Amino acid sequence: MNRWVQIYGTGRKIRAIATYMVAVSVAGFGTFLCIVKEGAFPDSLTTFVYLSLAIIGQHLSVTFPDGNSIALADPVVYAALWAFGPRLALLSQVAAVLTQLFTQKKAILNTFFNAAQFTLSIMVASVWAHFARVTPVGHAPLSQIVFVFLLILTFEIVNYTFVSIAVALDQEHRWREVFLRIWFIQRKKTFVLSHLINMAGVLLATYMGLAGIIFVFASVFVLWLQLKFEQELALKSLEANTDVLTGLFNARYLEGWLENDFPKLSAGQDTCSVIFIDVDGLKRVNDQMGHDVGDLVLGHLAKVLKSVVRSGDKVIRYGGDEFIVICMNTELDKAATIVERILSALKDTPLVRDGVTVNFGISAGLASFPLHSTQGRDLVRLADKAMYLAKKDGGNRYRTADNL
């Protein structure tokens, strides 16, 4: 079923969704055939360049950190529509979408629906290009900017209308809410940028010909490469600072935080508390139940820690069975409350393996900036010493650096 149609909602309206997609597909491809078979395309080189850039651009999107993206094919299709009319735009867009059947294994009905919705959107938006060509006012530079904006805006509104109807049926939501969400709300951070890029592509293609659209495509492609490089660099940095077993930050991350972030915190006179945690009874678990169960203990504790601490706090596996929680903007009494919640959560959510409860506890030590020290490494050392006091007192409790 996924090869024919892909849905992202409840699945209860699959027949209505499929019927809608088929109807749009028939209307769109009928329109495509009528337009493409009439008239002539530009010269072979121009047609080849636009077709190639559209196909390549359809498979490349500039994705920003907030998740929004700009497809490299967009300025190419808009430029083709404005400069040469709907035939070249339709050929470029439809061919680019249909190639995804083979390159990305997209669902067949979804792919034909996408091609059809683009076709109908291009035809409606082409009214502005035609109007600009047949009226004297359309030849003025300022008027052309306005008409290009209206062309792009019209295309988007029509296109997102088709999409939002399908999504509304799929997710059983109101159409108006879906339309506003996917057309603007989800794109508001890149809405202006995407329009500027698309308008630049159209205007440069108008005044510079093929060189203009190639320049815009190359510029956006370089942006895509830069963001790709930064994303890969961030991923490698995350992997280098992440503990494989628990998914928490590791000791390397702690060193970087002490070296780079703590001085900023200190200079800003913000409060900070360090919780040093050691697992009680892990050696016994390893000896009696095996090291795989011991790893489960560490993973279970990591999940509890992440579920209890706040989003801005840093949870670190320092090494072996030692963990550190850095509580930002937190004084000693609030850090003690966090430790109490951790102890309570471990008691309320015991680790069970094959019907047997795995018994373990934790000992914790607390130290705060600037109460106990103004040096980051001293805070870690003092929290470590306080943890040993808790362990010496029987474990499954916490002590603060006040007790040292």
Query: Domain limits at 182?
Result: 14-235
Q: Are 222 and 255 contained in the same domain?
A: no
Domain end among 235, 269, 293: 235
Q: Are 133 and 225 contained in the same domain?
A: yes
pLDDT digits (tens, 9 = 90+) for 389-400: 999 999 999 999
Q: Are 44 and 117 contained in the same domain?
A: yes
Is residue 9 over pLDDT 70? no
Residue 268: which CATH number? 3.30.70.270
Q: Are 258 and 390 contained in the same domain?
A: yes
Specify the pLDDT at position 10: 62
Residue 159: which CATH number? 1.10.1760.20
Number of domains in the chain: 2
Categorize the per-residue pLDDT at 255 as very low, low, confident or very high, splitting at 50, 70 and 90: very high
Q: Are 26 and 127 contained in the same domain?
A: yes
Q: What is the 3-state secondary structure (H, E, C) of the chain?
A: CCCCCCCCCCCCCHHHHHHHHHHHHHHHHHHHHHHHCCCCCCCHHHHHHHHHHHHHHHCCEEECCCCCEEECHHHHHHHHHHHHCHHHHHHHHHHHHHCHHHHCCCCHHHHHHHHHHHHHHHHHHHHHHHHHHHCHHHHCHHHHHHHHHHHHHHHHHHHHHHHHHHHHHHHCCCHHHHHHHHHCHHHCCCHHHHHHHHHHHHHHHHHHCHHHHHHHHHHHHHHHHHHHHHHHHHHHHHHHCECCCCCCECHHHHHHHHHHHHHHHHHCCCCEEEEEEEEECHHHHHHHHCHHHHHHHHHHHHHHHHHHCCCCCEEEEEECCEEEEEEECCCHHHHHHHHHHHHHHHHHCCEEECCEEECCEEEEEEEEECCCCCCHHHHHHHHHHHHHHHHHCCCCEEEEHHHC
Q: Are 131 and 84 contained in the same domain?
A: yes
Any idea which of 61-65, 82-86, 358-362, 375-379 has the lowest mean pLDDT? 61-65
Is residue 8 over pLDDT 70? no
**What share of the chain in percent tops pLDDT 70?**
97
Q: Per the domain annotation, does 3 fall within a domain? A: no
Q: What does pLDDT average to over the chain?
A: 90
Q: Per the domain annotation, does 4 fall within a domain? A: no
